[in-house]
Structure 1
Amino acid sequence: MTTSLSGGCQCGAVRYRVTGTPETPHLCHCRMCQKASGNYFLPLAWAPGDMLTISRGAPSWFHSSDPIRRGFCSTCGTPLFYDPISEEGVAFTLGSLDDPAALPPAANDGEASRVPFFQALCDLPSDEIGQDDLSPVITATNHQHPDRDIENWQVKR
Protein backbone atom coordinates (compact mmCIF):
# COMPACT_ATOMS: atom_id res chain seq x y z
CA MET A 1 0.00 0.00 0.00
CA THR A 2 1.50 3.33 -1.03
CA THR A 3 0.66 6.24 1.20
CA SER A 4 1.35 9.91 1.50
CA LEU A 5 1.54 11.20 5.04
CA SER A 6 2.42 14.64 6.29
CA GLY A 7 3.46 15.80 9.71
CA GLY A 8 5.53 18.23 11.65
CA CYS A 9 6.25 19.92 14.91
CA GLN A 10 3.83 21.69 17.21
CA CYS A 11 4.74 25.22 16.08
CA GLY A 12 4.93 24.46 12.33
CA ALA A 13 8.58 25.47 11.88
CA VAL A 14 9.47 21.94 10.68
CA ARG A 15 7.20 19.98 8.35
CA TYR A 16 7.80 16.69 6.54
CA ARG A 17 6.14 14.34 4.06
CA VAL A 18 6.39 10.55 3.81
CA THR A 19 5.59 9.05 0.41
CA GLY A 20 5.42 5.28 0.15
CA THR A 21 4.78 2.59 2.72
CA PRO A 22 6.39 3.20 6.12
CA GLU A 23 7.75 0.12 7.84
CA THR A 24 7.56 -1.24 11.38
CA PRO A 25 5.23 1.19 13.15
CA HIS A 26 5.90 0.42 16.80
CA LEU A 27 6.13 1.68 20.36
CA CYS A 28 9.72 1.85 21.57
CA HIS A 29 10.04 1.48 25.33
CA CYS A 30 13.85 1.77 25.53
CA ARG A 31 15.23 4.22 28.05
CA MET A 32 16.73 6.48 25.36
CA CYS A 33 13.35 6.86 23.66
CA GLN A 34 11.70 7.51 27.02
CA LYS A 35 14.17 10.31 27.71
CA ALA A 36 14.01 11.70 24.15
CA SER A 37 10.22 11.94 24.24
CA GLY A 38 9.74 12.73 27.92
CA ASN A 39 7.23 9.92 27.94
CA TYR A 40 6.86 6.23 28.85
CA PHE A 41 7.41 5.17 25.20
CA LEU A 42 8.01 6.70 21.76
CA PRO A 43 5.82 5.70 18.80
CA LEU A 44 7.96 5.44 15.63
CA ALA A 45 7.81 4.14 12.06
CA TRP A 46 10.64 3.63 9.57
CA ALA A 47 10.80 5.53 6.26
CA PRO A 48 13.40 3.71 4.13
CA GLY A 49 15.62 5.47 1.60
CA ASP A 50 14.46 8.93 0.61
CA MET A 51 10.80 8.24 1.38
CA LEU A 52 10.79 11.09 3.94
CA THR A 53 11.41 14.65 2.78
CA ILE A 54 11.49 17.85 4.80
CA SER A 55 8.95 20.27 3.34
CA ARG A 56 9.54 23.24 5.66
CA GLY A 57 12.37 24.35 7.91
CA ALA A 58 15.11 22.11 9.20
CA PRO A 59 15.27 19.94 12.30
CA SER A 60 18.00 20.32 14.89
CA TRP A 61 19.88 17.17 15.85
CA PHE A 62 21.13 15.60 19.06
CA HIS A 63 23.39 12.51 19.06
CA SER A 64 21.87 10.31 21.76
CA SER A 65 24.68 7.82 21.03
CA ASP A 66 27.47 7.67 18.47
CA PRO A 67 25.41 5.83 15.82
CA ILE A 68 22.04 7.53 16.51
CA ARG A 69 20.92 11.12 16.18
CA ARG A 70 17.49 12.45 17.03
CA GLY A 71 15.81 15.26 15.13
CA PHE A 72 13.62 17.83 16.85
CA CYS A 73 12.27 21.34 16.34
CA SER A 74 14.60 23.86 17.95
CA THR A 75 11.73 26.35 18.31
CA CYS A 76 9.08 24.28 20.12
CA GLY A 77 11.06 21.15 21.09
CA THR A 78 8.84 18.57 19.37
CA PRO A 79 10.67 15.21 18.89
CA LEU A 80 10.41 14.29 15.19
CA PHE A 81 13.06 11.82 13.99
CA TYR A 82 15.25 8.89 15.01
CA ASP A 83 18.15 8.59 12.58
CA PRO A 84 20.61 5.69 12.61
CA ILE A 85 23.24 7.60 10.64
CA SER A 86 24.76 4.52 8.98
CA GLU A 87 21.42 3.38 7.51
CA GLU A 88 19.47 4.59 4.49
CA GLY A 89 16.29 6.09 5.90
CA VAL A 90 14.95 7.65 9.06
CA ALA A 91 12.27 6.85 11.62
CA PHE A 92 9.65 9.48 12.37
CA THR A 93 7.45 9.96 15.43
CA LEU A 94 3.89 8.78 14.86
CA GLY A 95 2.48 11.47 17.15
CA SER A 96 3.89 14.17 14.86
CA LEU A 97 1.77 12.99 11.92
CA ASP A 98 -1.12 15.26 10.94
CA ASP A 99 -3.31 12.18 11.34
CA PRO A 100 -1.66 9.98 14.00
CA ALA A 101 -4.43 7.38 13.63
CA ALA A 102 -3.41 6.77 10.00
CA LEU A 103 -0.48 4.56 11.04
CA PRO A 104 -1.23 2.56 14.19
CA PRO A 105 1.65 0.79 15.96
CA ALA A 106 1.88 -2.92 15.18
CA ALA A 107 4.56 -3.97 17.69
CA ASN A 108 6.51 -3.09 20.84
CA ASP A 109 10.27 -2.70 21.04
CA GLY A 110 12.73 -2.13 23.88
CA GLU A 111 10.47 -3.91 26.31
CA ALA A 112 13.21 -4.44 28.89
CA SER A 113 12.68 -0.78 29.87
CA ARG A 114 8.90 -0.80 29.59
CA VAL A 115 7.30 0.76 32.67
CA PRO A 116 5.64 -1.94 34.79
CA PHE A 117 2.24 -0.23 34.74
CA PHE A 118 2.08 0.11 30.93
CA GLN A 119 -0.73 -2.46 30.50
CA ALA A 120 -2.92 -0.63 33.03
CA LEU A 121 -2.74 2.83 31.40
CA CYS A 122 -5.91 2.38 29.33
CA ASP A 123 -7.86 1.40 32.44
CA LEU A 124 -7.13 4.66 34.26
CA PRO A 125 -10.16 6.89 34.91
CA SER A 126 -10.60 9.84 32.58
CA ASP A 127 -10.55 13.22 34.27
CA GLU A 128 -10.18 16.72 32.82
CA ILE A 129 -8.90 18.30 36.04
CA GLY A 130 -8.64 22.06 35.60
CA GLN A 131 -9.37 22.00 31.87
CA ASP A 132 -12.76 23.69 32.18
CA ASP A 133 -11.10 26.84 33.51
CA LEU A 134 -8.28 26.89 30.96
CA SER A 135 -10.04 25.65 27.80
CA PRO A 136 -11.43 29.01 26.62
CA VAL A 137 -8.07 30.73 27.12
CA ILE A 138 -6.13 27.93 25.44
CA THR A 139 -8.54 27.85 22.49
CA ALA A 140 -8.47 31.63 22.04
CA THR A 141 -4.66 31.82 22.16
CA ASN A 142 -3.65 28.58 20.43
CA HIS A 143 -0.24 28.83 18.67
CA GLN A 144 -0.17 25.20 17.55
CA HIS A 145 0.15 24.50 13.83
CA PRO A 146 -3.04 22.94 12.43
CA ASP A 147 -2.91 19.32 11.29
CA ARG A 148 -2.48 20.02 7.58
CA ASP A 149 0.00 21.69 5.23
CA ILE A 150 -0.35 25.46 5.06
CA GLU A 151 1.74 27.44 2.58
CA ASN A 152 2.11 30.71 4.49
CA TRP A 153 2.20 29.70 8.15
CA GLN A 154 3.79 32.16 10.56
CA VAL A 155 5.56 30.49 13.47
CA LYS A 156 4.58 32.07 16.79
CA ARG A 157 7.53 32.25 19.20
Structure 2
Amino acid sequence: MTGGCQCGGIRYSVVVTDDDAYLCHCRMCQRATGGVFAALKQVPRAAVTWTTRQPDRRASSEIAQRGFCAECGTPLTYEGVRSDNLDLTVGSFDEAHRLKPVGHFGVESRHPAWRDTANLPEKRTQDLPNIVSQWMETRGHVPD
Protein backbone atom coordinates (compact mmCIF):
# COMPACT_ATOMS: atom_id res chain seq x y z
CA MET A 1 0.00 0.00 0.00
CA THR A 2 1.06 3.60 -0.43
CA GLY A 3 0.33 6.86 1.32
CA GLY A 4 1.65 10.20 2.39
CA CYS A 5 0.92 13.68 3.63
CA GLN A 6 -1.58 16.18 2.29
CA CYS A 7 0.96 18.28 0.37
CA GLY A 8 2.74 15.24 -1.13
CA GLY A 9 6.13 16.14 0.34
CA ILE A 10 6.31 12.88 2.28
CA ARG A 11 5.29 9.61 0.60
CA TYR A 12 5.64 6.02 1.73
CA SER A 13 5.18 2.48 0.54
CA VAL A 14 4.38 -0.28 3.02
CA VAL A 15 3.93 -4.02 2.84
CA VAL A 16 0.78 -4.96 4.78
CA THR A 17 -0.32 -8.50 5.55
CA ASP A 18 -3.91 -7.73 6.58
CA ASP A 19 -6.45 -4.91 6.59
CA ASP A 20 -6.68 -4.66 10.40
CA ALA A 21 -6.44 -1.23 12.00
CA TYR A 22 -7.41 0.14 15.42
CA LEU A 23 -8.69 3.26 17.10
CA CYS A 24 -6.63 4.84 19.87
CA HIS A 25 -8.55 7.07 22.27
CA CYS A 26 -5.65 8.03 24.58
CA ARG A 27 -5.22 11.73 25.33
CA MET A 28 -1.82 11.83 23.62
CA CYS A 29 -3.31 10.58 20.33
CA GLN A 30 -6.24 12.96 20.70
CA ARG A 31 -3.86 15.90 21.07
CA ALA A 32 -1.45 14.70 18.38
CA THR A 33 -4.18 14.35 15.76
CA GLY A 34 -6.59 17.03 16.95
CA GLY A 35 -9.35 14.41 16.87
CA VAL A 36 -11.32 12.43 19.42
CA PHE A 37 -9.31 9.34 18.47
CA ALA A 38 -6.49 8.30 16.15
CA ALA A 39 -7.12 5.65 13.49
CA LEU A 40 -3.89 3.65 13.18
CA LYS A 41 -2.44 0.70 11.27
CA GLN A 42 0.44 -1.09 12.97
CA VAL A 43 3.18 -2.46 10.71
CA PRO A 44 6.78 -3.62 11.13
CA ARG A 45 9.22 -0.72 10.75
CA ALA A 46 11.09 -2.78 8.18
CA ALA A 47 7.93 -2.94 6.02
CA VAL A 48 7.90 0.85 5.49
CA THR A 49 9.88 2.61 2.77
CA TRP A 50 9.85 6.42 2.78
CA THR A 51 9.86 7.11 -0.95
CA THR A 52 10.38 10.88 -0.89
CA ARG A 53 11.87 11.75 2.48
CA GLN A 54 11.62 10.72 6.13
CA PRO A 55 8.88 12.41 8.13
CA ASP A 56 9.76 15.14 10.56
CA ARG A 57 9.64 13.72 14.07
CA ARG A 58 8.95 14.98 17.56
CA ALA A 59 9.34 13.13 20.84
CA SER A 60 5.77 13.13 22.16
CA SER A 61 6.75 11.40 25.40
CA GLU A 62 9.59 9.45 26.96
CA ILE A 63 8.45 6.30 25.17
CA ALA A 64 7.40 7.49 21.71
CA GLN A 65 7.87 9.89 18.86
CA ARG A 66 5.41 11.08 16.25
CA GLY A 67 6.15 11.46 12.55
CA PHE A 68 4.50 14.31 10.66
CA CYS A 69 5.00 16.68 7.75
CA ALA A 70 6.28 20.06 8.93
CA GLU A 71 5.12 21.64 5.66
CA CYS A 72 1.40 20.74 5.78
CA GLY A 73 0.98 19.39 9.32
CA THR A 74 -0.27 15.90 8.43
CA PRO A 75 0.23 13.42 11.29
CA LEU A 76 1.81 10.25 9.86
CA THR A 77 3.17 7.96 12.57
CA TYR A 78 3.24 6.87 16.16
CA GLU A 79 6.61 5.22 16.88
CA GLY A 80 7.38 3.54 20.20
CA VAL A 81 11.10 3.96 20.87
CA ARG A 82 11.49 0.31 21.97
CA SER A 83 9.34 -1.28 19.28
CA ASP A 84 10.13 -2.99 16.01
CA ASN A 85 6.72 -1.77 14.80
CA LEU A 86 5.29 1.63 14.05
CA ASP A 87 1.76 2.85 13.51
CA LEU A 88 0.75 4.74 10.37
CA THR A 89 -2.30 7.01 10.44
CA VAL A 90 -5.11 5.40 8.48
CA GLY A 91 -6.06 8.72 6.87
CA SER A 92 -2.60 9.02 5.29
CA PHE A 93 -3.08 5.84 3.22
CA ASP A 94 -4.07 6.34 -0.43
CA GLU A 95 -6.61 3.52 -0.10
CA ALA A 96 -7.65 4.15 3.51
CA HIS A 97 -11.07 2.63 2.79
CA ARG A 98 -9.39 -0.77 2.61
CA LEU A 99 -8.46 -0.75 6.30
CA LYS A 100 -11.01 -1.79 8.91
CA PRO A 101 -10.99 -1.13 12.66
CA VAL A 102 -10.78 -4.31 14.71
CA GLY A 103 -10.30 -2.86 18.19
CA HIS A 104 -9.96 0.10 20.54
CA PHE A 105 -7.06 1.19 22.72
CA GLY A 106 -6.84 3.82 25.45
CA VAL A 107 -10.56 3.53 26.13
CA GLU A 108 -10.23 5.26 29.50
CA SER A 109 -10.12 8.53 27.52
CA ARG A 110 -12.84 7.68 25.01
CA HIS A 111 -15.49 10.38 24.49
CA PRO A 112 -18.82 8.52 24.80
CA ALA A 113 -20.75 11.07 22.70
CA TRP A 114 -18.60 10.15 19.66
CA ARG A 115 -19.06 6.40 20.03
CA ASP A 116 -21.95 5.84 17.64
CA THR A 117 -22.45 8.41 14.89
CA ALA A 118 -24.26 6.13 12.44
CA ASN A 119 -27.65 7.87 12.78
CA LEU A 120 -26.48 11.49 12.51
CA PRO A 121 -27.63 13.53 9.48
CA GLU A 122 -25.23 13.35 6.52
CA LYS A 123 -24.24 15.77 3.74
CA ARG A 124 -22.03 15.24 0.74
CA THR A 125 -19.48 17.90 -0.19
CA GLN A 126 -21.36 18.68 -3.41
CA ASP A 127 -24.43 19.55 -1.27
CA LEU A 128 -22.60 22.68 -0.06
CA PRO A 129 -22.52 25.06 -3.05
CA ASN A 130 -20.44 27.71 -1.28
CA ILE A 131 -17.65 25.17 -0.64
CA VAL A 132 -17.90 23.67 -4.14
CA SER A 133 -17.67 27.12 -5.76
CA GLN A 134 -14.56 27.99 -3.74
CA TRP A 135 -12.88 24.76 -4.85
CA MET A 136 -13.89 25.31 -8.47
CA GLU A 137 -12.50 28.86 -8.42
CA THR A 138 -9.20 27.90 -6.82
CA ARG A 139 -8.51 24.39 -8.12
CA GLY A 140 -10.97 23.72 -10.92
CA HIS A 141 -12.34 20.62 -9.15
CA VAL A 142 -13.36 19.38 -5.74
CA PRO A 143 -10.49 17.42 -4.18
CA ASP A 144 -10.83 13.74 -3.26
Q: What range is the shorter-chain TM-score in? A: 0.7 to 0.9
**Deviation of 1:122 (Å):** 2.2
Deviates more, 1:21-30 or 1:39-48: 21-30
Where 2:60 maps in the other structure, the secondary structure is strand
Say if 2:61 is the partner of 1:65.
yes
Establish whether residue 94 from structure 1 lines up as the match of residue 98 from structure 2: no
Of 116, 122, 125, the match for 1:126:
122
Cα deviations by residue, 1:74-128 (Å, 9 ceiling, x for unpaired) = 1000000000011112110011100111111111111110002122322221246
SS of residue paired to 2:66 = strand
Gaps of 5+ in 2: none
Cα RMSD, aligned residues only: 2.2
Among 10, 14, 18, the residue aligned to 1:14: 10
**C-alpha separation in 2, matches of 1:24 and 1:101:** 11
C-alpha separation between the residues in 2 aligned to 1:90 and 1:140? 40
In structure 1, the residue corresponding to 2:121 is in which secondary structure? coil
Which structure 1 residue ranges, 5 or more long, are not aligned?
148-157
TM score, norm. by length of structure 2: 0.87
The amino acid that maps onto 2:77 is: F
Q: Which residue of 2 aligns with 1:83?
A: 79
Post-superposition Cα deviations, 1:29-82, rounded to whole Å, max 9, x if no partner, equal 111000011001100011114001111122111111011000000100000000
Looking at structure 2, the residues matched to 139 and 112 of structure 1 have their Cα atoms a distance apart, in angstroms, of 43
In the superposition, relative to structure 1, how do residues 107 and 50 fare at CA in structure 2: closer, same or farther (>3 Å)? same
Where 2:112 maps in the other structure, the secondary structure is coil
User: What code does the residue aligned with 2:138 have?
Assistant: T
- Indicate the percent of aligned positions where both proteins have the same amino acid: 37
TM-score by length of structure 1 reads 0.80
Structure 1 residue aligned with 2:52: 56
> CA distance change for structure 1 residues 109 and 38 in 2, over 3 Å: closer, same or farther?
same
Q: How many residues align?
A: 140
Q: Which residue of 2 aligns with 1:136?
A: 133
**One-letter code of the match for 2:33?**
S
Residues 60 and 121 (structure 1), Cα distance of their counterparts in 2 relative to 1, 3 Å cut: same
CA deviation string 1:9-32 (max 9, x = no partner): 000000011113158510001110
Relative distance call for 1:128 and 1:93 in structure 2 (3 A) is same
